[in-house]
Amino acid sequence: MDVVISNCVINLVPDKAAVYREVARVLRPGGRLVVSDIVLDAPLPAVVADSVAAFTGCVAGASLRAEYLRAVTAAGFERVEVLEDRGFGEEVLGLVPEALLAQATAAGVDVRAVATTVRSVKIRARR
């Protein structure tokens, strides 16, 4: 293949390194990878990380940014660039079910602080 494009699905895969190894396998030398995905600046509190609602909302399955980029590089990609990096801030709270917000708040979690750790990144790399 010449190009592999992914839009916000790798964060749902438990073994992201395996995904990137497979992408590297199917790309021709010099082939390009472009991914838009969700990453984290800090680990999620357990009440959020263990939540099915947070997983289906593409947050609980996300990796720390450094781990995510390390998986891309370890798979053999070069010229790994972060083309876009934006935070969701409090707007992500509108996507979180009220029950999860209540559960997190009851557990003493500052949900606004957690929301600021969720990032959308666009990455480009070459094999």
Contact 37, 83 (CB under 8 A): no
> What pLDDT shows up at residue 97?
73
Within 8 A by CB and 6+ apart from 81, the residues are 123, 124, 125
Stated as kind and residue range, the H or E segment containing 104 is: helix 98-106
61-66-70 Cα angle (round to 5): 95
Q: Parallel, antiparallel, or unpaired: how do β-strands 118-126 and 78-87 relate?
A: antiparallel
> What pLDDT shows up at residue 56?
80
- As a whole number of Å, the CA-based R_g of the chain is 16
The alpha carbon torsion through 8, 12, 17, 21 (nearest 10 deg) reads -60
> What pLDDT shows up at residue 25?
97
Within 8 A by CB and 6+ apart from 12, the residues are 55, 58, 61
- Give, for all 127 residues of the chain, the pLDDT tens digit: 999 999 999 999 999 999 999 999 999 999 999 999 999 999 988 888 888 888 887 888 999 999 999 999 999 999 999 999 998 766 766 667 777 778 888 888 888 788 888 999 999 999 9
> What pLDDT shows up at residue 95?
67
> What pLDDT shows up at residue 82?
97
> What pLDDT shows up at residue 105?
84
Domains and CATH numbers, the chain: 3-126 (3.40.50.150)
